[in-house]
Amino acid sequence: MANTVDIQRMLGTYPIISDQVNREQLLVILTELEKVLARDVSGAVVEFGCYIGTTSLFIRRMLNLYNDDREFHVYDSFEGLPEKTAQDNSSAGEQFQAGELTVSKKQLIREFQKANLRIPIIHKCWFNELTSQNVSSQIAFAFLDGDFYESIKDSLELVLPRLAPGATIIVDDYAREALPGAARAVNELLPKHLSVQTIHNLGIIHT
């Protein structure tokens, strides 16, 4: 069984290969994933919005630490960010425009190969193109990094009905002033019996 020391050691050993997530956030994500694995919650691990794969690589390392062979799916357009909507308007600035943060699927695969890690099941698509056939019937852990309102809304609509008992969702940018669409989507769609805990701009939802 992993613990905080193991996770800290992992974060000290392997590089963080992009500036889109920091060490403190990764510690939260991996600690929450570890709780799910320790309780042997049924279902797949899914990541909506993987960029170059920083979080994906650490998720795979945590699964390996537990010798956990469950399905791990990542979803990304690999075409950068979509267009913003009115729900994403923020007085904090106009960061993150359509087309930014573009990487290729080949780049993601290359990072896994360089790290000598098993490549996840990769879905190249916009989230609004997905149907129930593209998503596991049961989900134990979901990391949603869609940045904008529509992307978080689309991924939540796919994930929420498939959550296993004891599952966890983490929404990136939930408390980030420059990206208010993430919180707006969560607050609109989240069932009333669930609540959100905020740590380092991450919204954490336990079922």
Q: What's the pLDDT tens digit per position in 178-194?
A: 889 999 999 999 999 99
How far apart CA 13 and CA 28 sit, in angstroms, is: 17
CATH code of the domain covering residue 100: 3.40.50.150
Contact 45, 73 (CB under 8 A): yes
Contact 183, 53 (CB under 8 A): no
Contact 120, 60 (CB under 8 A): yes
What pairs with residue 123 in β-bridges? 75
Residue 91 pLDDT more than 70? no
How far apart CA 17 and CA 11 sit, in angstroms, is: 12
Residue 1 pLDDT more than 70? no
Residue 101: pLDDT band (50, 70, 90) is low
| Percent over 90 (pLDDT), the chain | 74
How far apart CA 22 and CA 12 sit, in angstroms, is: 12
Q: Which domain holds residue 185?
A: 4-206
User: How far does CA 91 lie from the centroid of its chain?
Assistant: 26
How far apart CA 33 and CA 167 sit, in angstroms, is: 9
Confidence at residue 83, expressed as pLDDT on a 0 to 100 scale? 72
pTM of the complete model: 0.93
How far apart CA 108 and CA 123 sit, in angstroms, is: 12
Residue 147: pLDDT band (50, 70, 90) is confident
Residue 130: pLDDT band (50, 70, 90) is very high
Confidence at residue 159, expressed as pLDDT on a 0 to 100 scale? 97
Residue 108 pLDDT more than 90? yes
Confidence at residue 168, expressed as pLDDT on a 0 to 100 scale? 98
What pairs with residue 205 in β-bridges? 169
DSSP 116: T
**Which residue in the block uniquely carries the two structure tokens 């909507």?**
85
Q: How many domains does the chain have?
A: 1
